Amino acid sequence: MTRIRFADVTFPAANAPREYEVAARLRRFLTNYRIRTGSSENTHLLSDRDRDRIDRHAQAFLLARDRKSGMGHLDKRDREKLSALRLGAELRGIQSEHEADVVASVIHQEMPWMAAATERVWQEMRASVRRGDPAPRLSPVLLLGPPGIGKSHWARLLAEQLRVPTCMVDATNEPASFSIVGSQRGWSSTGPGRPLQTILATSVANPIVVIDEVEKAGSAEGQSGTSYSLSQALLPLLERSTATSWTCPYFRVQFDMSWVNWVLTANTLGGLPRPFLSRVPPLEMPALSLEHLLGFAER
């Protein structure tokens, strides 16, 4: 098992003192100091003014520690969410080309009409093993084909064989751009995106994110009139060079999203802009034949 540093933050040690512990240490120090210096009988007792100054110093110490960690701008609840990444995030991979062959064989046996997609990920899995990658480096794939042929099922089956989590996003039912990248504070649905939520919940850095019917995704509009489309939101995540240090608009922290595997599905290419299609060239899938349906039913 390989773990990577997923969030660009520094977590305090597990046994790092909390505010009341820092204040208690400072109170003990001041009391002992006054006793050691031979002050008169009661001058070592702490006054209310002493205690207020100590509390301010303790708070300043913790604020400085939080700023150094890169999480000083986050509230306690959000820092606790990121604490799931204290030990980094796990990369689940395959150990040999033979294992890649087995994964591809299982998928092809169940869904032979998806052969073009299966062969592509098979070759990429084998190439990852030869390079010594800790997990498969799969290029984003756009499965183009008629509805009902099992494009989403193929993606879930791939995730099952790779033993990684699946994150499903239906582009027709929600503001898809916010579902993917999250939204800044100030929006009614503020929060991190679904892929990042999946990683935080599982501590696995290479889930398979499935975006269904991507061509039907609408766009959200901010109060300033700015439009937020799914294709624009996805571009920095689909490019490995930018995904390595992608900044979440909710946490305002950089994350290494370069290991996320993207499977997008579409029934048509209508509405998908060229810059988007240049990063995810469509892979055309055939309609199901009667032979395929009978074989699927028998299995």
DSSP string, 104-116: HHHHHHH-GGGHH
Q: What is the mean pLDDT of residues 215-235?
A: 68
Nearest to 140 by CA among 242, 241, 210, 216: 210
Q: Which is higher by pLDDT, 187 or 240?
A: 240
Q: Can you list the alpha helix ranges (DSSP code H) found in the chain? A: 19-36, 48-69, 76-82, 97-110, 115-131, 151-162, 176-181, 194-202, 230-238, 240-243, 274-279, 290-298
Q: Are 135 and 92 in contact (CB under 8 A)?
A: yes
The structural domain count of the chain equals 2
- Residue whose pair of structure tokens reads 């050691």 in the numeric block: 36
- pTM here? 0.82
Q: What is the mean pLDDT of residues 115-141?
A: 96
Q: Which domain holds residue 145?
A: 89-298
Confidence of residue 42 (pLDDT cuts 50, 70, 90): low
pLDDT at 223: 46
Judge if 56 and 107 occupy the same domain: no
Burial class of residue 1 (count of CB atoms within 10 Å of its CB; 0-12, 13-18, 19+):
exposed
Judge if 119 and 18 occupy the same domain: no
- The residue among 49, 77, 105 that closes a domain is 77
